[in-house]
Each structure stands twice: as structure tokens, then as C-alpha cells.
Chain A
Amino acid sequence: MSSFILPSLIFSPLLGVVILFFLSKNQEKAIKIVGFLATLPSLLLSLFLYVQYKAGTELSDFAIKEAWFTFGNLKQYDPKLFAVDFELALDGFSLVMVILTAVLSTLAAIASIHIKKEWKGYFILFLILQVGMLGVFTSQNLILFFIFFEITLIPMFFLIGKWGYLEKEKAAYSFLIYNGLGSAILLIVIMVLFARTGTSNIEALRYIMTVGGVSLIAPISGVMKYALLIALLVAFGIKLPIFPLHTWMLRVHVQAPPSIVMLHAGVLLKIGAFGLIRFGMGIFPQEFQKIAIYLAILGVINLLYGAFLALIQTDFKMVLAYSSISHMGIVLIGVGALNEAGIQGAIFQVVSHGLIAALLFFLVGVMYERVQTSSIDRLGGLAKIMPLTSGFLLAAGMASLGMPGMSGFVSEFMAFLGLFKEEPVLAGIGAIGIILTAVYLLRAVLGITFGTAKQPVPLPAEKSDIRAIEMAPVLVLLLLIVLIGVFPSILSGPLQGAVEAIMIGIGG
């Protein structure tokens, strides 16, 4: 029975795709309901997994492994050689990511009520995107990972290009080019590893690289390891994004529809962090240790660069886009610290920023629906006409700037705790970012909600505040943010094993 869980979790959204095919494209309501419902099985199953995990079931019980295909006819030498299995499994880290993905997918499906056209195509792509994201976090070999990784790209391209704002095409192409480039580099890394070791299984690769003593098809020299690791960093660095590979992501944040940005900022960017930790740190721990300091420096650069630029943006969406860059700097800082506190902080930040970014972009969507702009220069005094929305926006801003009691604080704190142990001076410089974050977020949030309206905007009619259905995602996200902020052990529990495994790899 347990062997069905993971495949159903990942592929159940396809059921929705099938049903959508049979709906006429004008049945807006039905399409939206089906789209929403199709995200639910994954959500329920992922929560079920969490409950099972809490009850003491080993996560490895849910792993599945089926022979899939092999390259060449090498069975006579070694049945495993160049064989690619269809293998899915979970550990604490991936469980957390799967839950994050499932929750955000459902909420983004609710946020899709603001989509104005061609709902059928939209939801088909949306659900395929969800399959890709869920697959990425559960794949146990690099080839399968790569396939799911690619599955996320294509729907994303169309979702941005078709349902986005004014400059959507440019944003979509920009997205495709950068991410295509990243994929190509990733593919090269995977192929080199595969060709020289004969396996793409992540566990096997980790063993080969760290323990060694396995005869390989061809040796991998020390220099080659560094080259592969750096290629991985570039590939995932584009995704995260790391300065200076970030410009595509700004366009996506601003141009894509808010429901899609929720997934993009909430989950897709996190694949970069996931890959960095899982593959970079997992497969090349020794080499990773050597370059960790540079990652920490890049992290501080990301943090400050994003913050300084967020400070002078006039469009709220741009503020949030640069803020994402800045917050991903925290992930790099934690990863670069390369100790328990840092790594745990990095993973916390992945989850926390996923929730907070989704919340912020959802609220942007709610606001844009009513006032047709997100320009800070034009807006003002929204608290008067939209008190609840404004209150939520303020709460989301507080979460983003790391207010204790909310998840952002825990992750920021741990990442800095980690870096202060290793590089106190660098961490001290990075700490300036904590101040800047407060400055740009308050400037933007207060600029929109406090004061009085600066320019006449198409003011919504009375009773234009957030509706009940829109309130659901907000409350769920806020609840999760506060829950993690007050009881971080609900998150650190599942992560413990994964973090320990990484630390053993590093030899710490």
C-alpha cells in the first residue's frame, strides 16, 4: 500500500488534467473548481506522510524503485551499470519541500480566481507544473530529477508568456533562455557523472564521491570534481538566483500573474537551494568545504545588493523581487557557513521565504485586482479603504523583515548564528542587511497603506476589502508562518536527519 503513496502524490494532479480535457473551455467555474480540487490529493497525501512520520514510520518505507531503462547492453557485466531506475523516495528535507509545494499549489490554485482568460489551458499547465515540482524533490537519481526539472520549465514559460502582464513575452523568453542555459549546464554535469560512474543514483554517487574505493568506468580527477561542482553552482545559481545571474527573475516576478509568482518565488526558486544542498553539498562535500567561504561572500553580496536595490524601487512588485534576491542571500549565507546552525538556517529560510513570498505576492494580486496598480508612488492610504488587506500586508511585511514569532526570524537568526561562528567579520557586514530589510519593507508597505492617497487611482467601491475566499490563503499562510516562528521544532524535527547526514559527509 505504501508503495502507491509517492507516485499518487506526484501524479495525482494529472487526473485533473484529464478531467479538464473533457470540459468546454467556457465553463469558467467548473474549470476553476476542478483545477483547485486536483491539487488536493497531493496536499492530503503529503500531510498524511507528515502524520505518519510524526507517528514514527520510517520515511524510507515509502520509497519505490522500478527498473526503467538502460543505456547499452551491459547487463552481462553488471546489471546496475548504466541502468536508470524509476525511483522515488523521501527524507526529512524532501518531505518538507513536498509539503511546501503541495500547500502552495493548493493556495495558488485559489489565487487563480483572478485569472481572466483561457482557464482551461491555464489549469492544465498549472497542474503539470505541480507534477514537475513534486517530482523534483522526490527523485532519487539525477536523470529522473532532470526530467522533472525540465517539466517545470515548459508550463512556466507558457504561464508567464500568456497570462502575464504587459511585458509578459519578454519575461517568458528571458525565463526560458536563462533556465535553459542552467539546464544545459546541469545536463552536462549529469552526463559526465553518469558516463564516468555508470550510475545516476544520488546515494550511489554520494558514496562513490565521498567514500570512494569503487572502480569506475573512468576516474574523476580532483580538478574535474571542482569543475563539476562549479558547474552545478552556476546551474542552480541561476535558479536561486545568485548575483549577477538574477535579472531574468525580476522580470518574471513583475510580469507573471500573482498566482504563478506564488509558485515561482515560493517553490521554483527553492529548487536552486535544494539542488545546491542536495547535490553540491551532498555529492561533493570535500570540494564544497573549500569553496564555502565564497558562497558565504556571495550570500552577503546577494543580501546587500538586493536590499539596496529594493530600497529605491517604485513598483511594489520590484521591491518584492529584489527582496527575494536579498532573502536568497540568507540561504547562501547559511550554506556557506557549513555548520549545523547555518545549514538548518538555510533550509528554514527556503521554507520560510517560500511561505512569506507566496503571501506577499498573493496580497499584491488582491490589491492589484482592486486598484489596478502596484506603484508605490501612486498608492497611499489604502488602510482607510482596505483595512484588512492592509493589515495582512503589514503582517506579511513584518514576517519578511524577520519579526520574531514569525518564521523569517528563526531562519535569519540561525543562518547568522552559523556564519558568525565561522566568519564573524563577514557576518557583521551581512548584518547591515537586517537593517536595510526593515527600511525597504517599511518604506514600501507604509507607502502603500499609510498616509493618504498620493494620486487618484481607480478607487474601488465601498466594501472592496479582501473577500472571504481570498482570506483563506492569507490565513493559512500566516498561520504556518507564525507556527514555525513560535514552534520551530515542528520543522527542525524532520530536518534533523538530513542535516546530520550532510554534516557527516563534510566530516564535521
Chain B
Amino acid sequence: MMENAWIIPLFPLFSFLFLLLFGRKMKESSAYIGMMLTFVSLLYSLLVLFDRFTAPTYKAEATWLTIGDVQLTAGYEVNQLNALMLVIVSLVSFLVHMYSKGYMHGDERFPIFYAYLGLFTFAMLGLVISPNLLQLYFFWELVGLGSFLLIGFYFFKEEAKQAAKKAFIMTRIGDVGLLIGMILLFWQVGSFEYDEIFKAVSAGDISAGMITLTSLFIFVGAVGKSGQFPLHTWLPDAMEGPTPVSALIHAATMVAAGVYLVAAMFPLFSASDTAMLTVAVIGGFTAIFAASIGLVQKDIKRVLAYSTVSQLGYMMLALGSAGYAAGVFHLMTHAFFKALLFLAAGSVIHAVHTQNIEEMGGLWKKMRITGPLFLIGTLAISGVPFFSGFFSKDEILIATWEHGNFGLFWLALIAAFFTAFYMFRLFFMVFTGESKSNHSNTHESPGIMTIPMIVLGILAVISGYVNTPWFGTFLGDWLTEGNEALGHGHIEGPAWIMIAATAVSLAGILLAYLVYGKRSVSRDFLGGEASTMHSILYNKYFIDEIYQFTIVSITKAISLFLSFIDRFVVEGLIYAVTGVIRRLGKTGSAFQTGQVQQYGMAAFLGLAILLVIFVLTGGYIL
């Protein structure tokens, strides 16, 4: 199966091209094309995964471009990480394809939506089977294109336009970092291949400083894509896209690409302590930073978006703390429960036609399927025992502690408390209490939407059991098998960490219940909406405004300054030159007196000068 893994991304590509050409005629039956083709990809990915359990890594390549005597290659590779990612991506993509059939029903540009989904899925699958950095970058950008197109799907909305533009530009800032990093690495190693790079690293062919420099540049790319501080601001805005897109791209798959990149380049990162520490600090800081913003947001999708940023921070923290398996494990569980949460949120939005949680309430009784599923997702992300997020978060905390990042450990623990609190705040405000809208016809979503949610709900519960300290760390062991550089599949840690994690998550839930469920504690127990703290959090620490006043303004100022130069200095210079020539011409014409003696004199003088030059130089100047 693995020999033919290259075909997996081609199904969605075909879906994209086909729907682009014939979508107009297909109307809403486009969905079946998309669903069918991604389903084939999913089946194939599963087969490849099972194949990979027993067979070694498979890799095949061909020359893509020759530069001098260097051959740049393109190809595909199936190792443990890739095989796992293939399944996650194609599974979530298929479920989203299915769900969208209901969610996007009636949209004028329905086929285009499915075409874009195909493009994105193609790019994402291509990304995860790339065997070298150049090819990864190629798909990395295409993934960004897919994301951009889908964020801007409602192109006529000003917010969607701005959000799409912002997402593209912010991630591109990161991408340039990645580009620089990989080119620098290329001139060190002479290849973009992962294998070659790791070989050079372990052989000590690259200086320590260069390893740190290149891994930091590459990390900039990951920061952009995975919405890590300080390039995180595009991700919450990306919620302007249709909700299924938020589930697929901005929760489960694309934003995890940054984490995937760090994981794929792990042997490079782990060779530099500075790089590892940077990854851990950025991750840990982002985790608590985004969680704190999530505490006060009122838009259901934005709360989820900040929780995504925060959870991605956890994954980075894990990788930066040498917890390779923990990071990838959380990537997987998060993909399932966050996709579930987004799809459930979409179901809610579909029913009540608002995203403001202040206007929701009492939906538990009306949405008998969405409600419990949302609760499962909330329990999973909050790290409540027996749900998937509990196990993966625990691995991360242990890795952080054991790696000696004690400060970051405590931050992560506080962030876990925040997470439980704001997620249950969301749950109680949406599903309990009085119904605030006068939508009498609020109803449960159709089966085509609830079935994908049920599948994800099941996965959100059980997917944690592939890697538990109780029954065995199968996933971690398998992921790190045969590769020393990736560390141990499971890191043993003190038992109290698990208890502490459980305690903070339950405390968060309890507090949320008291404030928003039972309402026995005032919502303003910490100062309320008038307080400065609330204002800072609600405005996301004014990061957008800071960027506006610094980077954007400076860029504009430079542009205006150069425009001034262009208009006055460059053009002015030209006027000066033409002016001088005109002056010369005028002076020359003054000699046109009509007196023959004067002409003769001029001619004679000229000849004399020429003769002198000829005698002195032998006829040739220089």
C-alpha cells in the first residue's frame, strides 16, 4: 500500500479540478463528488497506516529541478508521523465534507466551497507526505492558499475580506522565516531532504550556532502557521470563514501544520538547547496568553479559536520540552475534540443564527444530539479524566516537568484551569439557563450534520486510550520506534501531576458552574466588565492595535516617503538633466551669429584640440 501512497492527495485534487470545471452544473450534488473522493483518500490512508504498523518507512523520489549539479527532488515518504497525519487529515476532511452538505445547503456558491475544500485537502495531504523541506514549503503555501480562499468565502463581507487578507499576510511573514531557514540549511547540508539534514546534524557537520539559527528561522514558520504568539492574531479573525472550515482548517489540520513541522524537524531542534527552550517558552506563553483572552470573549467561535491557539501552545510546549510523543499525541486528540466542538458550534449557529453567546441559552433541551456532543468535547478539552484530552495533556505536563521547565509547568497548569473554566462557561451559557432568543423553531440539525459529530464524539472519548500510563503507551512507543533522536515514547513522571491536573480542571469546571450554571457567584466576582483587566482581555491585549500603530504605520510611512522621493527627487533629477541640456542648447545657439570668421575660428580651434588629444594618446583614450 505504501508504495502507492502518492495517490492519496490526488483524489481531493481531482475533486478540486472537477468541481471547478463542472461544479456550476452539478449544483449541490457536488458534495457527493467531494465526499466520495475524500472517502477514498481516507480508506487509502487507513490502509497505509495499517501497512506501516508492520513494514518499515517507505520513501520514493524523482528529480524535480536541476540547478547546476544539484538535483532537487520531489517524492513521498511514509513514516510513523506521516501515516498518522494522513489518517487524521483525511478523516476530519471527510467528516467536514459530509457535514458541510447540510451546513452549506442553499448557498449560491456551494460547488466552489467543495472545490476549495478539495484544494485544501490535497495540499494538506501533500504536505504531510513530503520527504523534504522544499516540497513541504510548496504545500505549506498551498495550504495557506486554501485557508485564505475559504476564510474569504463570503467575499462580499468586508470582515471576511480583511480576515482573509490578514491570514494570508500574517502566515506569510512566518513562511519567509521558514524559507530563509531552509535555504540556509540547504547551503550547509547541500540538500533539502530530512534524512540528509538529520544525518548532517548527528554527524556534527553543522556548527552549533547554525543549527540554532536555522531551527529558529524554521520555527518562525511554525509560529505563523500555528497561530503562536506574536503571529497569532490572524487565527481568531479567520473565524469569518464558514464554520466547517474553521473545524477542518483552523482547528484540526492546517494550524497543526506548524506543530507537525517542528515534530518533523525534531532532530534538528533537539540538537540546540536554545531552539528547544524558545519553542517551549513560546508554546507555554501562548497557551496561557490565549487562554486568558478566551475567558471573556462573547463569540462562540472566537472562544474556540483562542482555545485552539492555546492548545497549539501546549503542543509546542511539549515538543520544546523533548516530549515528542506527547506533542504529537495531543495534536491527534485535539484534532478530534476540537473539530467536534467546532462542528457542534456550527450546529448551534445553524439553529439560532447568531454567534453571540449572550444571546444563546437553554439549548440543551432543544438540541438533544448537539448538546451532549458539545459536552463531550468540552470535557475532553478540559482534561477531565477518562476523556482523550486528559491523557494527552497529562503527557505534556509530565514532559514539561521532567525536562526541568518548572516555570512553564506551572503556567501550563494555570492555563489548564483557565481552559476548563472558559470552556464550561461557554457550555453553560449556550446550553443551560433561559432561552434568550425568540427563535421558536430552533431545532436539531439534520443527520448529515450530526453523524460526523457523533463519529468525532466517539473519537474524542476513546482516542486517548492509545497512549495511557494505565494500559500502555502504544502510540508513543510506535512513534519513536527505531529513532533515538525522538526520545522516549513515554516519559515517566511523578503521579501527583495527574492528580493536580485533574484537580485544576475540576476546579475550573466548578467555578464555571457556580458562576454561569448555578449562578450562585456573581459574574462580576473579579471586577466585571468595567474593570481594566476585563477591557485588556476583551481587547486581546490590544495586540492588533499595537501592530496597527507600529508595523503598519511604519510601512505606510516608508511608502509615503519613497513616493515623495519618486515624485520629486527621481523625477526632479530628470528635469534637472533636461534643463541643463536645454541650457546648453540655448548657449550653443547664441554662437550661431552668422559671422563666417567666427565659424572658421571655432572649426580651427576644434581641430587643434582634437590633434592635441590624438598626439597625446595615440588615438585611443583609455
B164 close to A (CB within 8 Å): yes
Q: How far is the CB of A352 from chain B (nearest CB, A)?
A: 14
Q: How far is the CB of B114 from chain A (nearest CB, A)?
A: 15
Q: How far is the CA of A384 from the CA of B156 in the complex (A)?
A: 8
**Which residue from B65, B619, B620 sits with its C-beta under 8 Å from A492?**
B65
Is there contact, CB below 8 Å, between B155 and A450? yes
Q: How far is the CA of A308 from the CA of B560 in the complex (A)?
A: 8
**A-B Cβ contacts below 8 A, count:** 128
Q: How far is the CB of B565 from chain A (nearest CB, A)?
A: 9
**Which residue from B63, B187, B558, B569 sits with its C-beta under 8 Å from A421?**
B187
Of A90-98, A119-127, A428-436, the one touching chain B = A428-436
Interfacial chain A residues near B161, Cβ < 8 Å = 446, 450-451
Interfacial chain B residues near A492, Cβ < 8 Å = 65-67
A383 close to B (CB within 8 Å): yes
Within 8 A of B (CB), among A475-508: 488-489, 492, 496, 499, 503
A209 close to B (CB within 8 Å): no
* Per-residue A-contact encoding for B304-320, CB less than 8 Å = 1, 0 else: 00000000000000000
Q: How far is the CA of A383 from the CA of B574 in the complex (A)?
A: 41
Is there contact, CB below 8 Å, between B67 and A344? yes
Chain B interface helix/strand/loop/mixed? helix
Interfacial chain B residues near A403, Cβ < 8 Å = 141-142, 145
Q: How far is the CA of A219 from the CA of B621 in the complex (A)?
A: 10
Interfacial chain B residues near A451, Cβ < 8 Å = 155-158, 161
Is there contact, CB below 8 Å, between A308 and B155? no
Interfacial chain A residues near B569, Cβ < 8 Å = 244
B525 close to A (CB within 8 Å): no
Is there contact, CB below 8 Å, between A309 and B562? yes
Is there contact, CB below 8 Å, between B622 and A227? yes
Residue on B nearest A404 in the bound complex, by CB: B138
**Which residue from B63, B141, B169, B176 sits with its C-beta under 8 Å from A489?**
B63
Q: How far is the CB of B134 from chain A (nearest CB, A)?
A: 8
* Per-residue A-contact encoding for B49-91, CB less than 8 Å = 1, 0 else: 0000000000000011111101000000000000000000000
Is there contact, CB below 8 Å, between A308 and B558? yes
Interfacial chain A residues near B27, Cβ < 8 Å = none
* Per-residue B-contact encoding for A396-414, CB less than 8 Å = 1, 0 else: 0010000111000110011
* Per-residue B-contact encoding for A330-341, CB less than 8 Å = 1, 0 else: 000000000111
Residue on A nearest B155 in the bound complex, by CB: A450
Is there contact, CB below 8 Å, between A247 and B571? yes
A416 close to B (CB within 8 Å): yes
**Which residue from B64, B184, B555, B570 sits with its C-beta under 8 Å from A244?**
B570
Binding site for B on A (CB under 8 A): 196, 218-219, 221, 223-224, 227, 243-244, 246-247, 305, 308-309, 311-312, 339-341, 344, 381, 383-384, 398, 403-405, 409-410, 413-414, 416-417, 420-421, 424, 427-428, 431-432, 434-436, 438-439, 442-443, 446, 449-452, 488-489, 492, 496, 499, 503
Which 7 residue pairs spanning A and B have beta carbons closest together? Answer: A340-B68, A224-B622, A450-B161, A404-B138, A312-B559, A450-B155, A244-B570
Binding site for A on B (CB under 8 A): 63-68, 70, 134, 137-139, 141-142, 145, 152, 155-158, 160-161, 164-165, 168-169, 172-173, 176, 179-180, 183-184, 186-187, 555-556, 558-560, 562-563, 566, 569-571, 573-574, 619-620, 622
What are 16 pairs between A and B in contact, CB < 8 Å? A219-B620, A223-B622, A247-B566, A309-B563, A312-B563, A341-B70, A405-B138, A409-B141, A413-B179, A435-B173, A439-B169, A442-B165, A446-B164, A451-B161, A489-B63, A489-B65
